[in-house]
C-alpha cells in the first residue's frame, strides 16, 4: 500500500476537488449528535465526531430503496441511476463493518444492489480516538488494512494517507500537487507513537472470543426472560448497528394499478412480526426469544459462518438503546460479570 502525506490545512481544499467524482458526505453535527451529512459546505465538517447516529451502511444498504420497477410482468432492476458518493471520516471499526457486509452480501449469491452501491461509494477513512463506549481494540477492529479507498491518519500538523484501492489512487491523482510522497523516518515514528498512545485510550474492554460457547451454554438462561421483559422491541439496535443487514420486501402499486415498485426497507429481528408466517404462526412470539436470537446471530452465528463476530466495537448500541440492553451489558451478564 502506498502512503502519502497531506498537510492539515490542505484537507478542505482536497475534499473540494473531489466533487467532480461524486457528492461528498462526512461527519456533521446534528443537535447533540453527529451524522454523515452532505458536505455542500466544508465548514460543516466536524472531525471531533466519535460516532454517528447511523453508520456508513446507510449508503450501501439504504433504509428504503427500490430494487425493481415493474409493469404487469416485466421487472426492471434499479441499478442504473445509483449516484457516485464519497464518504469521508469513516472510522476503522466502521470499515470493518463494511468488510463484514461485503462478505455477507457478496460471498454467496452476490447481491447486485449492494455490489453496485459499494462500487459507487468511495470510502475515505479517518483515524479516531475512542470514548468510553468504544471497544474496537477488543474486537480487533481499531485498525484496518482493506475495504477503503483512502485512509487518513490525523497526526496534528499533517495526515498520513494510505491508498487502499485503485480508485483511491485515482482520487489522489486528482490533486497530486497537495500530497507529499516523501515520508520521513520521523513521520513514521510519530505515527507509531500515536498508535501506542491511542491504543492506551481504550477504557472499555470486552472479549468476544468465547461468545459462541457461552451463548450455547446459556440458551436456557433466565437472563433472556429478564432482558425480554425490559426490551422495547424498538429495533433501534438493528438500525444503528454497522453490520445488521436484515430487510423487508414490499410491492407498491401506482394508483392506476398497472405498474409499481418492489422495495426493500430496513427490518429487525427484534420486531414482533419478523418470524410471523401466513396462517398466523409466529416462530419467535416472545421478546425474550427475539433478544436471544439477535445476540446469538451477532456473536455466534457470524463466527460460524464468516470466522469473526459481527460486532465491530463501535459502541452505537451502547449509545442508543433506551433500556441499556447492548453488547456490553449482555456479554457482561452472560459472563457473570454484571
Partner 1 sequence: MVNNIYQPEPMRIVRRYDLIEDVRFFQVRPIEMERALQLDYLPGQFMMVSLSGVGEAPFSISSTPSRPGLLEFGVRKTGVLTEELFKLKENEIIGVRGPFGNGFPIEKFEKRDLIIVVGGLGAVPLRSLLLYTLDNRDHFGKIYFLYGAKKPSEMLFLRQFMELKQRDDLNSFLTVDKDDTGTWTEHTGVVTNLFKHLKDVNPKNTYATVCGPPVMYKFVIDEIIKLGIPKHQILMTLERRMHCGVGKCGHCVIGSIYTCMDGPVFSYWDVLHMKDLI
Question: Per-residue x/- mask for partner 1, residues 289 to 308, rule CB under 8 A?
Answer: x---x--xx--xx--xx---
Binds partner 1 by CB under 8 A, chosen from 23, 42, 54, 68: 68
Is there a contact between 311 and 330 (Cβ–Cβ < 8 Å)? no
For residue 228, give the C-alpha cell: 425480554
Min separation Cβ 254 and partner 1, Å = 9
Cα–Cα distance between 24 and 142 in angstroms, integer? 24
Nearer to partner 1, 105 or 158 (CB): 105
Q: Which of residues 318-337 bind partner 1 (CB under 8 A)?
A: none
84 makes contact with partner 1 (CB under 8 A): no
Nearer to partner 1, 70 or 191 (CB): 70
Question: Per-residue x/- mask for partner 1, residues 206 to 235, rule CB under 8 A?
Answer: -------------x----------------
Q: Closest by alpha carbon to 69, among 261, 229, 259?
A: 261
70: which strand partners?
Answer: 75, 260
Nearer to partner 1, 71 or 207 (CB): 71
Nearer to partner 1, 83 or 110 (CB): 110
Nearer to partner 1, 30 or 282 (CB): 282
Cα–Cα distance between 58 and 333 in angstroms, integer? 31
Q: Which of residues 263-282 bind partner 1 (CB under 8 A)?
A: 267, 269, 274-279
113 makes contact with partner 1 (CB under 8 A): yes
Contacts with partner 1 by CB under 8 A: the residue count is: 47
Q: With 0-12 CB in 10 A as exposed, 13-18 as middle and 19+ as buried, what is 140?
A: middle
Nearer to partner 1, 37 or 62 (CB): 62
109 makes contact with partner 1 (CB under 8 A): yes
Nearer to partner 1, 257 or 307 (CB): 257
248 makes contact with partner 1 (CB under 8 A): yes
List residues near partner 1 by CB under 8 A: 67-68, 70-75, 77, 104-105, 108-113, 219, 245-253, 257, 260, 262, 267, 269, 274-279, 283, 289, 293, 296-297, 300-301, 304-305
Amino acid at each position: 500500500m502506498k502512503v502519502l502525506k497531506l498537510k492539515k490545512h490542505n484537507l478542505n481544499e482536497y475534499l473540494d476537488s473531489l466533487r467532480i467524482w461524486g457528492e461528498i458526505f462526512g461527519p456533521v453535527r446534528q443537535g447533540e449528535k453527529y451524522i454523515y451529512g452532505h458536505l455542500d459546505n466544508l465548514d460543516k465538517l466536524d472531525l471531533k465526531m466519535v460516532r454517528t447516529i447511523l453508520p456508513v451502511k446507510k449508503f450501501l444498504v439504504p433504509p428504503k430503496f427500490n430494487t425493481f420497477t415493474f409493469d404487469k410482468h416485466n421487472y426492471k432492476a434499479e441499478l442504473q441511476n445509483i449516484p457516485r458518493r464519497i464518504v469521508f471520516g469513516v472510522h476503522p471499526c466502521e470499515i470493518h463493518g463494511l468488510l463484514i457486509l461485503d462478505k455477507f452480501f457478496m460471498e454467496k449469491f452476490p447481491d447486485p444492489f449492494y455490489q453496485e452501491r459499494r462500487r459507487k461509494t468511495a470510502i475515505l477513512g479517518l483515524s479516531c480516538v475512542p470514548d468510553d463506549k468504544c471497544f474496537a481494540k477488543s474486537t480487533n477492529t481499531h485498525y484496518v488494512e482493506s475495504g477503503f479507498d483512502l485512509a487518513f491518519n490525523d497526526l496534528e500538523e499533517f495526515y498520513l494517507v494510505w491508498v487502499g484501492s485503485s480508485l483511491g489512487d485515482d482520487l489522489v491523482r486528482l490533486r497530486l500537487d497537495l500530497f507529499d510522497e516523501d515520508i520521513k523516518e520521523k513521520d513514521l515514528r510519530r505515527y507509531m507513537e500515536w498508535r501506542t498512545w491511542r491504543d492506551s485510550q481504550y477504557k472499555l474492554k470486552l472479549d468476544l472470543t468465547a461468545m459462541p460457547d457461552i451463548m450455547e451454554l446459556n440458551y436456557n438462561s433466565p437472563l433472556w426472560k429478564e432482558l425480554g421483559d425490559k426490551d422495547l422491541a424498538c429495533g433501534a439496535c438493528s438500525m444503528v448497528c454497522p453490520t445488521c443487514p436484515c430487510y423487508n420486501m414490499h410491492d407498491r402499486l401506482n394508483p392506476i394499478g398497472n405498474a409499481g415498485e418492489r422495495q426493500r426497507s430496513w427490518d429487525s429481528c427484534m420486531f414482533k412480526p419478523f418470524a410471523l408466517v401466513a396462517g398466523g404462526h409466529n416462530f419467535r412470539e416472545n421478546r425474550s426469544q427475539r433478544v436471544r436470537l439477535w445476540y446469538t446471530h451477532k456473536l455466534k452465528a457470524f463466527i460460524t459462518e464468516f470466522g469473526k463476530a459481527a460486532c465491530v466495537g463501535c459502541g452505537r448500541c451502547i449509545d442508543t438503546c433506551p433500556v441499556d440492553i447492548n453488547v456490553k451489558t449482555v456479554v457482561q451478564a452472560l459472563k457473570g460479570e454484571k
